[in-house]
Amino acid sequence: MIESITRSFETSATPLPEGVSPKWAAIIFSRWYFGLLPLVTALFLLFLPVVFRAWQRETSYVLRQRYVFVTVLPSTAIGLLMAMLTRYISADQITTFTTFSLLIYTAVNFITAFRGGFSEARLGGRLWRALLLSFCLFVIIVVAAIMTQIFAVVSMALYYS
């Protein structure tokens, strides 16, 4: 992962402060990114129950929040393991690995929602609700990752200015 970010700093036109190597900038960026990613993702997940109301009955915000967090719990555990594996992934394979990881998270979220969150609905109702929730969670993961990258770059700029 660090190799991939180092390559990005080397090939981009991003000016680094004097005495800061692209590898050191990649390490600092990774620290900011992996430190902020859980917080940004959690904030987005707190917002999801406000707009996602496809449960089979009228529920309170707190109950919808519980359903969302129970749905993402298995994929979060898998994501933790996948994040630890990124250390062993080469810079050439990081995009493939990240795409594969996103597909796994989405599939696990779908299976969890289908089997648990919508258990009172019929098969068709469970299917479309689980698909919709897993798609919403996919969008949240991608948007949270992009926002975290922006925050990490801004934090680095402020740190080095």
| Residue 50: burial class (beta carbons within 10 Å; 0-12, 13-18, 19+) | exposed
CA-closest candidate to residue 140, choices 90, 76, 86:
76
How confident is the model over 35-89, as pLDDT tens digits? 999 999 999 999 999 988 887 678 889 988 998 999 999 999 998 898 888 888 8
Closest CA to 109 of 83, 131, 85, 80: 131
Q: What is the pLDDT of residues 132-153, one digit of tens each?
A: 999 999 999 999 999 999 999 8
Q: What number is the average pLDDT over the span 5-21?
A: 79
pLDDT of res. 87? 80
Q: Which pLDDT score is estimated for 109?
A: 94
Q: How many domains in the chain? A: 1
| Structural domain harbouring 44 | 2-10+18-160
In the predicted structure, residue 94 carries a pLDDT above the cut 90:
no
